[in-house]
Amino acid sequence: MKFEQYKLVKEHALAALQAAGTSLPEADKLNPVLLAYIGDVVFSLYVRLRFLAASSHIRVIHDLSSKAVSAVCQAKALEELKDTLTEDELAVVKRGRNTKSTVPKSASMHEYRMSTAFEALVGWLFLRGDDKRLEEFLDKSFAIILDGLKK
């Protein structure tokens, strides 16, 4: 995207934000990359709060949190929980998994795509306001990830 085009898109986004007020966008209409963007934030906060309850040492919290939110851990959690997902959730996972992106060196292509799918699902549940299901999914995911960190 050229700089002038970027400036126009940015101005449009700011104008839309002012006009939209405080309502959240419809999760079903968002691009899976945006769902994953929101899901990343939600899951990172969830993990940090969980570790905060266990330790007051920032270095420990940061180290454990960084490992817990890694693509490898998220992919493992999603793989283990896939059979518990609804049809709608599986559709979001599929959309997130099939999103094209660059793959970091810290994970395989499969792990990275599955972690994007994981984050897209978390973002989708959050934006839909399905707090009960979101909490259930996050709790189960965290338990799987925590078990993996102990090994």
**Which residue of the set 28, 40, 63, 130 is catalytic?**
40
Nearest-angstrom CA–CA distance, 138 and 95: 20
40/118 Cα distance (integer angstroms): 9
Residue 40 a catalytic site member: yes
Contact 17, 101 (CB under 8 A): no
Is 67 exposed, middle or buried, given 0-12, 13-18 or 19+ CB atoms closer than 10 A? middle
Phi, psi of 47 (to 5 degrees): -65, -45
Helices marked H in the chain: 3-20, 32-52, 58-68, 71-81, 87-97, 109-128, 131-150
- Supply the residues annotated as catalytic: 40
